[in-house]
Amino acid sequence: MIFATRMLCVAAGAALLATALALAPPPSRAQTTPASRIDRIFSAVTSPKEPGLAVLVRQDGRTVFERGYGSRDLRSGLPIDAHTNSRLASDTKQFTAMAVMLLVHDGKLRYDETLTEIFPKFPAYGRSITIRNLLNHTSGLVDYEDVMDKKYAGLSWEQIPQIHDAGVLALMEQQTGTQFPPGSNWKYSNSGYCVLAMVVEKVSGMPFAEFLRRRIFDPLGMRNTLANEYGKNQVTNRAYGYTHDAGVWLETDQSPTSATLGDGGVYSSLDDLAKWDDALRNHTLLSVQDMRPAITPVVLPAGAKLPVTEPDGSPAAYGFGWFLNAYRGHARMWHYGESIGFRSAIERFTKDNLTIIVLQNRSDLDPGKLALQVADLYFASIR
């Protein structure tokens, strides 16, 4: 499939996990890992003259490792560093969720508000889809990528026009129903987060990208982070995405779905994401209480069949824009991002006060596995 990779996860857990995540974490028990050991993980899989990645490790609110590997752009040969802005892909969803939560905090939106309440012309099936369903992937909305696959069958991805969030909303308005009754099952939905971007626009009265800038990025000092809109803004220090094919690196920076914002359009750097990590840790934008819904795993009706996605055989949990299942007994909130030419991973081990971020402009490495290798170094020291 030519469109952004869709991740699957299912919900499990209880309010106890949410409470553990929401409370301010105690001082980390993990000992400082020598930078050389972290460096060996990433230098072994990268080369200065190839696309690469950027790595950030934060412990107890301090940056203890920050390094770039490889080139952000093979045409210029400029190296990746802490200021390089990469496409976050689905790691964008945590910002989309925050935007919605800020509107709820403002009293302008409710989690139980339905699509037809917000968009009166939306088809009748939207009466049973709530904002909460969209946030935790229980809406059952049809995948817009699948609709586009059918519409443009036989065309190469270069021939297909890019779609925007408004276009996704229009596609949803052309449907007659959902894949399953909203709230009855779980399926990862890029469509839902594109629709959420349009909800933010409708309720706030400003473009989604502008809302993110005014309410999240500027207040946190994330000056170079943005939702990229071609012709309207510019990504500074931009990394371009690459795919390795038959021994050659091909620039595969854009696809037909690269213009949607709510599900994957934010670009950011290690420097700015460190500020985002601080804001989450210190509850700068939302209080512990207001943040709790985002870190409460969705619970499905009894008897719902949930696909297993974790290597240990357990299902993942999901809140609002965050996966919530633990790793080897360590509580965490995390997400992966995957789009053409880019991969990313944000791993926040909340009780250990440890954050690991990997941003890639190449599609042949698994940033999640690399990030967890770093986590293993820290956790090995406290066994």
Residue type for position 32: T
Q: What is the mean pLDDT of residues 118-134?
A: 98
Contact 257, 228 (CB under 8 A): no
pLDDT 10s digits, 73-92: 999 999 999 999 999 999 99
- Prediction pTM value: 0.91
Only one residue has tokens 């449907």, namely 175
Q: How far apart are CA 310 and CA 9, in angstroms?
A: 9
For residue 92, give both structure tokens. Answer: 């964008």
User: Cα separation of 188 and 75, whole Å?
Assistant: 36
Give the start-to-end residue ranges of the domains of the chain. 15-380
Burial class for 361, CB neighbours closer than 10 Å (0-12, 13-18, 19+): buried
With 50 as the cut, is the pLDDT of residue 25 above it?
no
- Count Cβ neighbours within 10 Å for each residue of 100-123 and write b for 16 or more, e otherwise: bbbbbeeeebebebbbbebbeebe
pLDDT score recorded for residue 72: 98
> What mean pLDDT do residues 167-184 have?
97
Give the separation between CA 349 and CA 317, rounded to whole angstroms: 15
Q: Give the closest residue to 361 by CA, choosing from 238, 191, 215, 192.
A: 238
Confirm or reject CATH 3.40.710.10 for domain 15-380, answering yes or no.
yes
Q: What is the pLDDT of residues 237-285, one digit of tens each?
A: 999 999 999 999 999 999 888 999 999 999 999 999 999 999 999 999 9
Q: Which two tokens stand for residue 316?
A: 């993942």
In this prediction, what percent of the chain has a pLDDT beyond 70?
89
In this prediction, residue 12 carries a pLDDT of 36
Span 131-142, pLDDT tens digits? 999 999 999 999
